[in-house]
A = this chain, B = another copy of it.
Amino acid sequence: MRMSEFSDKQRLAYCGAMTSDNATPTPAPSASFAAIQQLCAADMAAVDAVIRGELNSDVVLINQIGEHIVRAGGKRLRPLLVVLTARACGAGNIDVATRLAAVVEFIHTATLLHDDVVDESSLRRGRQTANALWGNAASVLVGDFLYSRAFQMMVGVDQMAVMKLLADTTNAIAAGEVLQLLHMGDPDLTESKYLDVIRRKTAILFAAACQLGAMSAGAGLSVQRSMYNYGMALGIAFQIADDVLDYAGDVGQIGKNVGDDLAEGKTTLPLILAQMRASAADVEAIRSAVRNADRLALSNVLDVIRSTDALDASLGRATDYADQATQSLPALARSASFDALEALARYAVQRVS
């Protein structure tokens, strides 16, 4: 059990100019996301350069939307996972990991662009979405451009195992998105079906990112599989926490509107757990709000969520998955990057409180 093995070990800091695992780690009470970002600053700057270079096209709108996406930035969690896992696996040369990190970010951005059409949401990461600015057509087509550019970049890396992992991953994501679409307005979504959806639509790309980092470092299949499992559990924890934030956050914090999921008729874990604990009348209020994708019912639904402690219960589940992520990590030599992977698992849940 890795968790108990390392449960009271000294926590490491990722602050300052530490961009290499050779730097001596300094103890700190708890790791922040900003510290992890600083640890990876040099690697992520390299990823950014690849992204900017590969977004280039002779079609001006592609450059414009590309630039919009690059500036929007976001946390770049998935490419961060590629470089962190590569470093944790002892990668000396980070060039391949850097390219694969950009590939993963392109695939993620393509799914965001296509999601925007599906969700018809107008605010993402606190900025107007591409489809609000350029229309559905551009979102669909620039998404396709990014998907196919990602596959071109994989051809450049020239490893069929990479190609297989990401072809399987993008296909699972698409199937997961369709599955989610089928459950729009469906208050009967069970916890197990919900997990099936978020595994496919979100967590699998975290998993692939972590396996890619290991592959790029030349790690064996067993380490690759462990990293994949770490990423899968981490992705589930992140998504559950996101779904909690949809009822708990504010626009400034989550970069989208509170109650968006309800307004789309999306049943997420807070609503599933609230239904398990609420009175018959309150259950019916939730079910009706989901069926009618009724944002106006938000304040009622929030009352039920509060009275049933459904957000805390959801975060409890997220914590379980974060723990599972940590336990899945392969037995590698400690390093700042390895510790950052553990810290990310904590951060997945802590950022909500």
Contacts and interface: CB of A to CB of B under 8 A. Distances in A.
Interface string A47-82: 000000000011111100000000000000000000
A205 interface: no
Interface residues of A, number: 42
Contact of A144 (B58, B59, B60, B174): B174
Nearest to A161: B155
B147 A178 contact: no
B181 A61 contact: yes
Given A59-B178, A158-B160, A160-B155, A118 B145 contact: no
16 contacts: A58-B175, A61-B178, A62-B175, A111-B144, A117-B117, A118-B140, A142-B174, A144-B173, A145-B174, A147-B147, A148-B167, A151-B166, A152-B171, A155-B160, A155-B163, A155-B164
Given A151-B167, A155-B164, A160-B158, A178 B145 contact: yes
B151 A170 contact: yes
A168 interface: yes
A110 to B, nearest CB: 8
Contacts of A117: 117, 136-137, 140
Most chain B Cβ neighbours within 10 Å, of A117, A138, A168, A174: A174
Contacts of A59: 175, 178-179, 182
Given A151-B170, A154-B167, A175 B57 contact: yes
Contacts of A23: none
A175 B63 CA distance: 11
A178 to B, nearest CB: 5
A111 B138 CA distance: 14
B145 A171 contact: yes
Contacts of A142: 174, 178
A107 to B, nearest CB: 10
A114 interface: yes
Contact of A145 (B61, B62, B145, B175): B175
Contacts of A177: 141, 144
Given A136-B136, A155-B167, A182 B144 contact: no
A149 interface: yes
Contacts of A61: 178, 181-182
Contact of A171 (B136, B149, B167, B178): B149
A328 to B, nearest CB: 25
Contacts of A168: 152
A113 to B, nearest CB: 9
Nearest to A149: B171
Enumerate the 8 nearest inter-chain pairs by beta-carbon distance, A residue then B residue, closest first: A148-B171, A148-B170, A145-B174, A151-B167, A144-B174, A118-B137, A152-B167, A155-B164
